[in-house]
Chain A
C-alpha cells in the first residue's frame, strides 16, 4: 500500500474532519487540517504509525500570507517509507495552539522551542521555560524566527529565573556543574540532586552554544549555505551538509550522479568511523583505562589523516555541494583508502579485544547508565542510543537510496547500558569498513560526473541522513529565487540529551562522565 492510501485510510477511519492531502515528493506526505483537529490527528498518527514526533516547528508565511504561521508536525511511517507532516495554520492575532505535549511527550521540547522562537503559545503545556534564549540575556517579546524580528539592542533582559526542578529532603545535595567544564568540551549546565552517592535527579540546561543558525540561513543562496551547515556540529560536518544538499536536491528535482551518491556514502562512513573510534577511546578514558584510550586516539588520527589526503579537510568540509560532490576520487586515492583501511580494520579489532577482554573495564560499563526501551520510545530517542536500547531504527534501512545496493546489517542491542552503546559502536565500525570496501568496488562501475547543475526552483523538502550519532533532519523551504525562506534542523542530540538525564538515575556521580560519553551528544547541534 502506498503512503497516500495508508494515511488516508487511517484518517478516514477516525473521522478526522476536512482532510487535505498532498505529496510534493514521493516520500513526503502533507496533511492539512483545521486547528481543532490538529492534536487529534497528531495523536492518531503517533499511535498508528508508532512514531515519536520527529519534527515539530513553525514557519512564518509572511511573504505568501502576511500574518499567518504554518505549524508542521512530522511523523515517520516506517511501513510505507515516508514522512507524514500534519499542518495547521494560525494567525498572528491569535498565536495559540493546543498543546500536543500533554499527550505526546516527544513534542514537549519542540513546543518550548516554538514558544521562544515564534511566540506561539501551546495552551496547556506546563513547562515553557526557554531553551536557548536564556532569561539572563534576552528580553521578553523578541522572537528571532519571525520575519519582522528586529534585534533588541541593549533592551534589558528578563533577568534570572530559570526554575530547576528541586529535590528536597534530609541529606539531599545539589551539585551544579558547568557551563564551563573541566575538560576540553562544549558548554552545558548539569544539576545533580543526590542522596548519598546515587543520583536521584539530573536536570540539564543547554542552549549555551546557540548561534541563531536557523535565522542566519534565511535569505542565503543554497550553495552558500552549505558552508554554514558544515559548521553546525564539527564532528558531523559531512552528515549535515549531505542532509541539507539532499533537501535542496529534492526541491530542485535533481538526481545526483551515481558516482556522487557512492562518494557520499564513502565519506559518511568515514565520518562514522572516526567518531566511533573517538568514542570507544572516550569510554575507556572515562573509566581511567588509558592504554586503549590512547590507542583509539591514534586510530582516529589515522582516519583524520586519510580524510585530509582525500579531501584536504580532516573533518570532510568543502566536499558536498548542491547537485553532488565537488571533488572526485582518482585511482591513487582509492589505493590510499585500501591501504589505510587494512590497517584501520586491524586496529579496530585490536581495540575491541583490549576493551572486551578486560574484566575490570567490563565491570564498569556493564549495567551502567541503563536507558530502558519504554523511556527511549516515550522520549523519541533516535540513532545509536535507540539502537542500543532495542529500537531497531536506522534511516539507512528505511530510506536506503544507494545503501540499498550495498549489504550491511543494522546494529541492535537490548540492554541499553553503556556496554550496549559500546557494542553498537563496535558493530557499526565493522559495518562501515565493509561498506567502504563495497563502495570502492562499485566506484569503477559508476564512472562519470560527480555533480550536476540545476535550474532555480522554489518548494519545500526534507533531507534525512543517518549520520554517526543518528538521523540528521533538515527541512528546507526555498523561494523562487533559490534562496532559503525557512530551514528547520533537528539533530539527534535534541531528544537524546533528555535520555541522558534518565539513564544516569541511580548511578553515582563519578559514573556520569562515562554515561555521558557513551551517548556522546552534541552541544552545538542541539543548541543551533
Chain B
C-alpha cells in the first residue's frame, strides 16, 4: 500500500496545478488570483493574513465552502491566508449567518478578544441583513447590527473561487 501511495504521489505530482484536464483552466485562474492576493498580503500585512471564523447560525453551507478553500485544489494557505483557532491570533473575523439571539453575545466577545487593528468580513447572504431569516423573531438581522463590518462576500454560499477573488478585492480596497 505505501508503495502505491508513493507511486501515486509521484505520478500525480502537485494536484493544485496538475489535477485534471478539465480543471487546468481553474488552476491557472486560482494561481493568478492567488499570486496577486499573496503580493497584496505581503505589502499590507507583512507575511500573512489570519482569520478566525465564527458561525452565528448559518446553515453550514458557507462553512463547507470555507473549508473547501483549504483543500489541495484551492489551497488558500499558499497565498498567506490561514484560519486560526483563536480570535487572539486573528487579523480578521470571518462571520457567517444571520446572528441568532443566542449567538449575539458570543459574537461580541469574540470580536472583543481580537487585537487591534481588526477587520470584520461577513460571508454569505444571511450575514448581510439576515437574508432569508430577516423577519424571524430570533435573529438580529445580520452582523452589521452587532459589530462594525468592513467587507462582505456575497453568495448562498459563495464558492471557494469567489471567496478568494473577493478577498483579493477587499485587500486592494483596504
Contacts and interface: CB of A to CB of B under 8 A. Distances in A.
Contact of A235 (B53, B64, B136, B137): B64
B98 interface: yes
A83 interface: no
Interface in A204-251: 207-213, 215-216, 227-228, 231-235, 237
Nearest to B63: A184
Contacts of A231: 59, 61, 126, 131-133, 156
A294 interface: yes
B61 A208 contact: no
Contacts of B131: 231
Q: How large is the interface on B (under 10, 10 to 19, 20 to 34, 35 or more residues)?
A: 35 or more
B142 interface: no
Nearest to B104: A137
Interface stretch (A42-50, A296-304, A444-452): A296-304
A315 interface: yes
A294 B68 CA distance: 10
Nearest to B135: A216
B117 to A, nearest CB: 21
A88 to B, nearest CB: 27
Q: Which of A138, A211, A213, A298 has the most C-beta atoms of chain B within 10 angstroms of its own C-beta?
A: A211
Q: Which of A207, A227, A315, A358 has the most C-beta atoms of chain B within 10 angstroms of its own C-beta?
A: A315
B86 interface: yes
B162 to A, nearest CB: 11
Contact of A524 (B58, B65, B139): B58
Nearest to A314: B159
Contacts of A524: 57-60
A235 to B, nearest CB: 6
Interface stretch (A103-111, A175-183, A324-332, A378-386): A175-183
Interface in A142-172: 144, 149, 151
A187 to B, nearest CB: 6
Contacts of B1: 353-354, 357-358
B interface secondary structure, majority = mixed
B110 interface: yes
Contact of B97 (A209, A227, A235): A209
Interface in B30-60: 53-60
A133 B110 CA distance: 21
Contacts of B171: none
A383 to B, nearest CB: 17
B136 A216 contact: yes
Contacts of B100: 208-211, 527
A314 B159 CA distance: 8
B66 A297 contact: no
Nearest to B130: A211
B102 interface: yes
B56 A182 contact: no
Given A187-B56, A209-B57, A179 B103 contact: yes
B55 A187 contact: yes
B72 interface: yes
B25 interface: no
A52 B10 CA distance: 52
Contact of B105 (A132, A136, A237, A523): A136
A291 interface: yes
A184 B66 contact: yes
Nearest to A182: B85
B65 to A, nearest CB: 8
Contacts of B156: 231, 317
Contact of B136 (A185, A215, A227, A523): A215
Contact of A211 (B54, B62, B139): B139
A141 interface: no
A228 B63 contact: no
B157 interface: yes
B103 A209 contact: yes
A186 interface: yes
Contacts of A180: 54, 106, 110
Contacts of A179: 102-103, 106
A32 interface: no
B133 A211 contact: yes
B62 A186 contact: no
Interface string B64-96: 111110011100000000010110000000000
Contacts of B7: none
Given A183-B85, A208-B102, A233-B60, A294 B72 contact: yes
Interface string A350-361: 000110011000
A354 B55 CA distance: 32
B15 interface: yes
Contacts of B56: 187, 209
B169 interface: no
Given A208-B102, A231-B61, 14 more contacts: A136-B105, A137-B104, A179-B106, A180-B110, A182-B86, A186-B63, A187-B57, A209-B100, A210-B138, A212-B136, A234-B61, A237-B59, A278-B64, A297-B68
21 contacts: A136-B105, A144-B137, A180-B110, A182-B86, A208-B102, A208-B103, A209-B56, A210-B138, A211-B138, A212-B139, A231-B132, A234-B64, A234-B157, A235-B64, A291-B5, A294-B71, A294-B72, A298-B73, A314-B159, A354-B5, A527-B100
Cβ-closest 9 pairs across A and B? A234-B61, A182-B85, A234-B59, A209-B57, A234-B60, A297-B71, A212-B136, A212-B138, A137-B101
